[in-house]
Amino acid sequence: PRSSTNRYTRLLLGVEGKAGGDKVRYAFLAGPDFRRYEAATQYIVDRTPTAAWGEASLTATLTKADALTASAKRERWLSSTGQAVYDNDNVLLGWRHRFDAAWSTQLSAQYQRGKYVAPTVRDDELRTASGQVQWTVSPRLALTLDVAWQAGVDRLRTVATAGRDFHRVATGLGARWAY
């Protein structure tokens, strides 16, 4: 009986290119996101909202061994329950360094925010710092070690949302085999 099924149309304008030879690559795309929800629900008041949508990226190759990346995106999403709607902001900064043909590392920081649209009252953040070391054993085999530190934050700090903050560390080992 409660459904947030919707159709959307985006009118986007963008630009992409290179600067400084091939050292800097950039891309930008933005415009309005027009929605039409098929049925009114208790979680969506406006059945025909317009929201901002956009994404941008920048990659700078500093040296043969070093590259910096930055990206940002804003989009409207349905919540995991399919009932509420939120605006998702995501910003990522990264640095990659290649020590030699076999060893490389990558460090990144990411900020995500999910601000729910009325009448839902939620405003969440996820902050992540991560690192990866990769060892290319052979042209076919690469091994990785990953570590990510995350903090989830409830920006509203209401009685109803108390206890939702968290901190965690996630680690991983990976192997990639190409044939």
**Would you give per-residue pLDDT tens digits along the chain (179 residues)?**
566 778 899 999 999 999 988 899 999 999 999 998 877 666 777 888 899 999 999 999 999 999 999 999 999 988 877 778 899 999 999 999 999 999 999 999 999 999 988 888 889 999 999 999 999 999 999 999 999 999 999 998 888 777 889 999 999 999 999 98
The distance in angstroms from the start CA to the end CA of the chain is 50
Closest CA to 110 of 95, 91, 125, 97: 91
Instruction: For residues 33 and 150, give the distance between their C-alpha atoms in angstroms, rounded to a whole number.
Output: 30
CA distance 138 to 114: 41
Nearest-5° angle of CA 75, CA 24, CA 178?
80
- What is residue 41's predicted lDDT score, i.e. its pLDDT? 67
- What pLDDT is recorded for position 169? 98
Which pair of structure tokens corresponds to residue 139? 């042209």
SS (H, E, C) 157-179: CCCCCCCCCEEEEEEEEEEEECC
